[in-house]
Amino acid sequence: MSIASNVRFGYAIRYNGAVERKERILEIIRSLDLPKNPLDDIIDQLGGPDNVAEITGRRGMLVRASCDKGFTYQASNTKDVSMKMVNMHEKQLFMDGKKFIAIISEAGSASVSLQADRRAINQRRRVHLTLELPWSADKAIQQFGKTHRSNQSSAPEYRAGPSLSAYNYDSVYGKRALLVMYKGIIEQVSVVDSSLVVPPGCSSGNPQSIRDFIAKAKAALVSVGILSSGESAKGSGGRIESDMHDVGRFLNRLLGLPPEIQNRLFELFISILDVIIQNARTEGNLDYGIVDIRANTIELQGKPKTVHVDHMSGASTMLFTFVLDRGITWEFASGLLDEKQKGGLGSANDGFYESRREWLGRRHFLLALEGPISGMFKIIRPAIGEAVREMPLSELRNKYRVITCLEKARSGWEDEYEVSSRQCMHAPNCKVGSYCAVGRRMQEVNVVSGLILPIWKAIEKVLSKQAHHSHRRIRVVRIETTTDSQRTVGLLIPNAAVEDVLEGLFSSHPPTPPPLPQKKKRKKPGKKNTQTFIPCT
């Protein structure tokens, strides 16, 4: 046998061996019970690509083969439709009624309108189901707008899986919180120094537990490509790949970590975010947007006062004064706990708690009830009612301790309920004085409503001169009385600034004096009009 024949024979043996190994590997893969691709599975259950218009950024999909014999890969585009035009082609099939289901993603939803347009063949009412919300609220609103636009025959019906009241993490405060967390991990220092936050599962009295967490967190961030391994050592500058403020990148790559470190990193991020938001709120720099003012009882005090009248249109600006009671009585709070325990839905950690540390000589009380998500608790306080954010069990145990004596819980709850009716949580020596509303149960709220734009700058100028930072920002609020459901939208005027605002409006927009009476001009004598109008019969 020649040398060439020997070489060919050797190649054949290796080739056949490789083919056998490949087949064995494929058999092992086929035997694995792997989950289906979620998007492919949804499309398959809805009837396949013949019934579903897919408007995403994918180049291909897995489609069920004929006779139910597995799945085959199918390109998104065809010979007649280029890859660039796939989304527009799918969108047109949906609008023409050839496909009655459309699945859109952020990657494929640009320049796409899917509303029940009167000019389209498919004018069926849209039912918009949101399976996963984006990390930021503005992107969510943009996607909702794909099915809700002008010239539509009917408005869409929205059904969202997750709650739309969830926090918008990809905000200026979220970016700041991410930066604080990254710096704490890169520089191998406790984030307690910069944000008063103890990492989850750690104790401020045990520095070694914090150092261990930082080491694990750094290794985890390196493993998913967020932290650069070559420059992450202490004192080397600690470069973060791409952008240290990219919240979306952090949240997405966080999903690639083991659940234990994933949950701890996320809890740390949220805890820092809460501190930053609270600091901004205290300093008066928090951007609320339009805020709904809520309370157990909201009543209009007296009649609205006219503070400005526009001399061009005659429209008026009114000052409304409301009285709010945000508190929760002991009877109502204990009833909530009893109702949950009787229903068999109670948790072992449900109950009344008191703060571990004193705040200005007082301890604060709360009722914690576990929500639908395990380990997350709804917080109810005697002075301000239900808190906006749920509290994780680790934070609850770290800041509060359970009260086993019901009489002690009742005494503390009722005392805080009574005290909060006449003073804020800063006690009688508060720098803001009687105008402070932080932690206060009974509040007086002043809202300027009606014609706002002509006097906006005047109000802004007055508020900018207020002594306290929290009184310098203009806030747009919406408030509804609990007795007759009368809704008012306008600018929130801090109680300490009401008189200054009224004086500022008067000086910048003084009332227009009535016009002077004019002398009637005498008509010159002339011929009478002798035209006759004959009515039509």
Record the tokens describing residue 330, joined without a space. 């002991």
The DSSP secondary-structure symbol of 160 reads E
C-alpha 48 chain-centroid distance? 34
In the chain, the largest separation of any two C-alpha atoms, in whole Å, equals 138
- Which residues does the chain have with pLDDT short of 70? 1-2, 7, 68, 161-167, 188-196, 229-243, 282-289, 432-433, 508-537
Record the tokens describing residue 349, joined without a space. 């950690």
3-class DSSP state for residue 129?
A: strand
Token pair 């069926």: residue: 124
Question: From CA 63, how far away is CA 70, in angstroms rounded?
Answer: 9
Instruction: Produce one character per residue of 203-240: b if its CB has 16 or more CB atoms within 10 Å, e if not.
Output: eeeeeeebeebbebbbebbeebebbbeeebeeeeebeb
pLDDT in the model for residue 525: 55
pLDDT in the model for residue 242: 55
Question: From CA 154, how far away is CA 98, in angstroms rounded?
Answer: 19
pLDDT in the model for residue 526: 52
Q: What are phi and psi of 402, to 5 degrees?
A: -70, 145
128-161 pLDDT, tens per residue? Answer: 988 877 777 778 888 888 999 999 999 898 887 5
- Written as one string, the DSSP assignment of 512-536 is PPPPPPPPPPPPPP-PPP---PPPP
pLDDT in the model for residue 110: 76
Contact yes or no for 398/200 (Cβ under 8 A): no
- Residues 6 or more apart whose Cβ sits within 8 Å of residue 64: 44, 48, 70, 71
- Please state at what angle helix 259-283 crosses helix 247-254, rounded to 10 degrees: 150
Contact yes or no for 493/446 (Cβ under 8 A): yes
- Written as one string, the DSSP assignment of 327-382 is ---HHHHHHHHHHHHHTT---TT-EEEEESS-BTTB--EEEEEE-SSTTEEEEEET
Contact yes or no for 135/169 (Cβ under 8 A): yes
First to last CA, the chain: 124
472-503 pLDDT, tens per residue? Answer: 878 888 999 998 889 999 999 988 889 999 98
- The strand pairing partners of 333, in sequence order, are none
Question: Mean pLDDT of all residues in the chain?
Answer: 83
pLDDT in the model for residue 113: 92
Contact yes or no for 328/387 (Cβ under 8 A): no
Q: What are phi and psi of 483, to 5 degrees?
A: -85, -50
